[in-house]
Chains A and B, each alone.
Chain A
Amino acid sequence: MTRVALFTTCLVDQLFPDVARAAVRVLERVGAEVDVPPAQTCCGQLPFNDGFWDEARRIARHHLETFADAEAIVTPSGSCAGMVRHFYPVLFEGDPAGVELARAVGARTYELSEFLVARLGLTDVGATFPGRVTYLVSCHGYRELGLYEAPLRLLRAVRGLEYVALPAADECCGFGGAFAVKMEPLSGAMLRSKVDAVRETGAAVVTGTDVSCLMHLGGGLSRAGAGVRPLHLAEILARDETRP
């Protein structure tokens, strides 16, 4: 049996606990034994991206200690997985022990869909989700982890799901962490383009690999009264015949 440690992420933990429950359900359904290290908090990306590297390093150290012994670390976020795998070695530059631990933990860190498809070789995880669904590409997962096919393959294997491609999918939705607040007029303009693109698809649900982007897009959709629901990919994959 595959043992995985769930790296919940700060946003999922604090604001979207259903997403973590859904991730656990999916992982268990495919036969993984899921452990949730209770000491985990956050990966530190928020302060890192805002220029506060000392603060980020403090959080990153805690994250590395928490997950140092895990065989496989799975997270419902491409952005947080990218932070650990791609940017921790940058953050610890000049500290060889830190870099080594960062690389070791990074090599065992997977975004959920990546873990299911690339590591476990699965595309059908036994999900049923009736409805028209479009998929929001999240930039960090897409460009830092090369995540694109995996989520789509999982979605296409969901029974009852009608997948409809989002126009201009490779363009950022405008979330960008602190950018969303600091550069609000630009973030808002980018959001407007994405809201229009989602509406154009006629989808009832927009899904993706990151609650951060989905929270931003969902907030825009709800403000626009678009009637399109944001759901994390894990929440779609968690639905099945027994609990639609």
Chain B
Amino acid sequence: MTADHASDGPIEFLDHARRVLDDPAFQHNVGHAVHVFRARRAEVLKDFAGWEEWREQARTIKAHTLAHLDTYLDHFDRNVRAAGGQVHWAGDGAEARRIIGDLARRRGVRRIIKSKSSTTDEIELNPSLERDAIEVTETDLGEFIVQLGEEAPIHFVAPAIHRSRAEIGALFAAKIGAAPTTVPEQLTRAARTYLRERFLRAEMGISGVNFGVAETGTLVVFENEGNARMVTTLPRIHVAVMGMEKLVPNLAALAVMLRVLPLSATGGRMAEYVSMITGPRRAGEADGPDELHVVVLDNGRSRILADREVRESLQCIRCAACLNVCPVYERAGGHAYGSIYSGPIGAVLTPLYQGLERAGTLPFASSLCGYCQEVCPVKIDLPKLLLVMRRRAAAAGEGVTPFERLAMQGYAWAAATPTRWAWAGRALRAALRPFVRGDRIPRLPGPLGSWTRRRDFPAPPRASFLDGGGASGRPDAGTGSRDA
């Protein structure tokens, strides 16, 4: 568990979810957006030859890199420095914030522009810079919208999909003095006009890193708006914040990621902009910063790396394909997950990063439908990881009620022998009988009452199949027939 969240209370997933479930605009906006992503991905995949082989390659690359991460980090460090960049190692979020804050202070930085970076959200970088009276401006359109709205991104690839054009128009009018409009072109023009000024006067640009290439010390940034290219080239200092698991061994491995990431993220055949940054501006070059700093963040990652059962969660390339297909994410939205990492991968990562005490409910926020695993471009076995995290939560007394524990223990006791099974079944069916109305049970008491809040429960038969003689009880000889 990181010190950052020790004082925060538990993530109340269901309370957050309930609020947005009752918000039809939210349901419509998020539902629409994820379905568009899903449909685009499916459309591209229609004529994408050998997708399963691409996935297998991507998985192999990430798994291999993680298995030899110490070596590749070493190569990366050496090659970034050889290209003229500086590498800083941050054990946790506090250390990363201190490194960046100190650098800003030493260089007299007052204004920072940022491109999208979940990792800087993870370490809560912006508030700490703002406390130092530094102006921080998000330049990805979605990030800019949520920054103006003073809220967290709802999705780590598409941060503002919960906001309608009308809401964004009103927000721009209120916060940046734009003329009220709901026309997308006018909205983006207003944002560009506002941001251009900021781009030109910022002294520091902070970006994330999609992939670090160990062999060349290259930082690779994917984006669709061109803002990240400006963030990484216009200001005199570029700081790239990279989770230590983001490496690939070489450019050939990167080529695989160039295909699988955009397709999985937004259904794009390729990213609109891919910046490959090797060192700061060199002598004779026109563009680029004077200084390049790479902050390599651990923040719990080496602990996860050593934890074999859950290590594959570090394969994640943050495409958010699992969010886009998750029926729970679609309805609960990202804020319910209490961290930048939402959806199925967030339900695994957040308890790993922040501890089960705070995030023990999250692994249970899944129907285990497996759609996430089907689309994951690096083939992370998300259902299995969710199950492992549930086991750990239950063992720690998190995410399960005392009644639930008792019920599961009782169930296992009963199901361990056929005699107990038959006896317990008879007792339970008899206990249900008083609640039968016609051919159904419209209302159950106690903790099972939540079943009947929106659905009926079937009326139990007199005899179970095995009680009624099993196969020899046929045809319809048993009194157990529901229709009887």
Contacts and interface: CB of A to CB of B under 8 A. Distances in A.
A14 B425 contact: yes
A39 interface: yes
A179 B13 CA distance: 13
A14 B364 contact: no
Contacts of A220: 454-455
B418 A40 contact: yes
Interface residues of A, number: 74
Given A18-B483, A178-B404, A184-B453, A59 B415 contact: yes
Nearest to A62: B416
Contact-residue bracket for chain B: 35 or more
B263 interface: no
B465 to A, nearest CB: 4
B470 A36 contact: yes
Contacts of A2: none
B464 A62 contact: no
A48 B458 CA distance: 24
Contacts of A16: 458, 461, 482
B393 to A, nearest CB: 6
A107 interface: no
A102 to B, nearest CB: 15
A183 B371 contact: no
B103 interface: no
A21 interface: yes
B174 interface: no
Contact of A50 (B400, B452, B464, B466): B400
A62 B21 contact: no
B17 interface: yes
Contacts of B464: 13-14, 17
Contact of B367 (A6, A59, A179): A179
A15 interface: yes
B21 A185 contact: yes
A223 B367 contact: no
A185 B428 CA distance: 26
A189 interface: yes
A186 B465 contact: no
A174 B451 CA distance: 12
A143 B369 contact: yes
A30 interface: no
Contacts of A50: 364, 390, 394, 400, 404, 408
Interface in B11-46: 14, 17-18, 21
Interface string B402-432: 0011001101101111100100010011000
A140 B370 contact: yes
B416 A59 contact: yes
Contacts of B366: 176, 179
Contacts of B470: 8, 20, 36, 38
Interface in B74-126: none
A60 B425 CA distance: 18
B476 interface: yes
B482 A183 contact: no
B373 interface: yes
Contacts of A179: 364, 366-368
Contacts of B457: 215, 219
A197 interface: no
Contact of B475 (A14, A25, A142, A188): A25
A153 B414 CA distance: 38
A14 to B, nearest CB: 5
B463 interface: yes
A18 B457 CA distance: 17
Given A34-B471, A143-B374, A49 B369 contact: no
Interface string A124-162: 000000000000000110111000000000000000000
Nearest to B331: A189
B390 to A, nearest CB: 4
Interface string B445-484: 0011011111111101101111010110111101011110
B88 to A, nearest CB: 39
A131 B9 CA distance: 54
A222 B441 CA distance: 10
B395 interface: yes
B69 interface: no
Contacts of B471: 6, 20-21, 24, 34-36
A172 B447 contact: no
Given A48-B387, A56-B412, A223 B447 contact: no
A55 B414 CA distance: 11
Interface string A28-71: 00000011101111101011111111111011001000000000
A47 B442 CA distance: 25
Contacts of A52: 391, 394, 405, 408-409, 412
Contact of A191 (B368, B400, B455): B455
A89 to B, nearest CB: 11
Contact of A14 (B374, B417, B456, B460): B460
Nearest to A175: B367
Contacts of B394: 50-52
25 contacts: A6-B471, A10-B415, A14-B425, A17-B464, A41-B421, A42-B421, A51-B364, A55-B411, A59-B412, A90-B387, A139-B368, A139-B371, A140-B370, A143-B371, A143-B374, A171-B327, A176-B367, A178-B364, A178-B404, A179-B364, A179-B367, A183-B14, A215-B458, A219-B440, A223-B454
Given A24-B474, A51-B400, 15 more contacts: A6-B471, A15-B460, A15-B461, A21-B465, A41-B421, A51-B395, A52-B391, A58-B412, A143-B369, A144-B370, A179-B364, A181-B450, A182-B404, A183-B17, A186-B332
- 7 smallest CB-CB distances across A and B, nearest first, come from A176-B367, A219-B455, A51-B394, A55-B412, A51-B390, A172-B369, A17-B465
Interface of B: 14, 17-18, 21, 327-328, 331-332, 363-371, 373-374, 384, 387, 390-395, 399-400, 404-405, 408-409, 411-412, 414-418, 421, 425, 428-429, 440, 442, 447-448, 450-458, 460-461, 463-466, 468, 470-471, 473-476, 478, 480-483
